[in-house]
Amino acid sequence: MSSVLCRSHKIAVGSRVARDLRGTTPTLLPAQVGIGKSFSSTHATSSSNTDELPLSGIRVLELGQLIAGPFCGQLLGHFGAEVIKIEPPAGGDPLRVWRELDIDGVSPWFRSLGRNKKSVAIDLRQDEGRALVKRLATNSDVILENFKPGTLEKWGLGPSALHPLNPSLIFTRVSGYGQTGPWSSRPGYASVCEAESGFRYINGFVDPETNTLSGPPVRPNISLGDSVAGLHAAFGTVLALLSRQKKVSKGEKSGQTVDVSIMESMLNLMEGIIPEYDRKGKVRGPSGSSVTGIVPTNAYPCLPSPTTPSSPTYIIIGANGDTLYAHLMHAIGREDLIGPNYAKNQHRVTRQAEIEEAISDWTRVRSAEQVLDVLDRAGVPVGRVVGVKEIMDNEHVKARGAVEDVWVGETDGGWNVKMPGVFPVLEGSGAKTRWAGPDLGEHTDDVLIKELGLDTKELARLREGGIVG
């Protein structure tokens, strides 16, 4: 991605010639162009230079909290954007104290989701706090927020207030139901939006008599809707940056809003449920551990492991391809289930119970290791259902570097935290975690002095008034 995506005062091209986004006059930049070069974090794990990363030169003001907005910010920061996270001085992002807490009282989850970000503590409920953020916004590329629609406007920080000051500013806005429409003002947590998107309806176990849910729907034990919305927000932000580049070349207004709805982000994952209903009147319902209309792909029981002798171990087999299905039947000795009546998926769907029973009869008298060995050699996709301990010990995970070691705290007296990597892996980019999620307000002074020119006396006054932290 060309670095001409970056904000107006630091748009670096190969010869260090920049074009002001608000005009067309080329400007020679100093030799050292880069955001955050002067930044030094106690959490930095390396002194790696971010100048070559795809989003180097992009400044993001992250005003959101919890998961959806910060997940987007984590992705942008990993690939080189300077992410300045604005947090309330009293407590910061609530995620700091969610779930398990580390020895310093901060959630390791926050250390992971807040990686590669600067923490600036500013109280947005106070006029002076909002004025500080407005000044930072005039020199930024992206405002990232996941408040209830209308909140930024109430604070005087919406597009109509900031675009006159920075016409090229991109607003990435994540909410439950979007910025418009009759539901836009509804509070929208991921769990509720997952239900409203239809996702929860198709997850659970089916009542064989009614073909509907047997009991309550099953939810994944993660906030899936938030993370999926964060992915959409990051993708939308990069699209808006590319769009801005094209608009600038034409002399057009380049500011834009990226409107991300958690409900719509989940709906985007729902495959063919809408066209299938439209054309065939088919309402897809729950399917337990299988997938409607695709056979065989399911969870199958194996013999209990020594560590859990009272319950079976489960493995997942995905042999829904026609050739893979034949390989599976050969591997389990059920060649009688190969032939014209089983050749294509549509044939197997009508014989699902028979096929599933044959596979389960074979797996349940074998250990998971035996099943994996036989099916691996047969070239059939198979995997064990595992927990986090097995993930941490997995040789493939280790070989790929999918789990990182990140230092938290001072060089002396700190500790290591293992975190999942940030993906995708971009060949040759060198993108990696540069520091863990920072302490609350760790970069307040650094950012406000260097970016806004405040002096220590003014900072002391603001801090005494609870405006900054």
The total of other beta-carbon atoms located within 10 Å of residue 312's CB is 15
Q: Residues near 394 by Cβ (< 8 Å), separated by ≥ 6?
A: 386
What are the angstrom distances between the C-alpha of 313 and each of 152, 305, 317?
50, 6, 13
Three-state secondary structure along 195-259? HHCCCHHHCCCECCCCCCECCCCCCCCCCHHHHHHHHHHHHHHHHHHHHHHHHHHCCCCCCEEEE
Active site residue 226: yes
The total of other beta-carbon atoms located within 10 Å of residue 175's CB is 28
The total of other beta-carbon atoms located within 10 Å of residue 1's CB is 15
> Which one of the listed residues 93, 141, 226, 259 is annotated catalytic?
226
Rounded to whole angstroms, how far apart are CA atoms 401 and 183?
Answer: 42
Contact assessment for residue 64 and residue 92, using Cβ atoms and an 8 Å cutoff: no
> How is residue 113 written in tokens?
């989701």
Long-range contacts of range 154-162, CB-CB < 8 Å, 24 or more positions apart? 155/124, 155/130, 156/130, 157/63, 157/124, 157/130, 157/133, 159/255, 159/257, 161/134, 162/134, 162/137, 162/138
* Residue numbers annotated as active site: 226
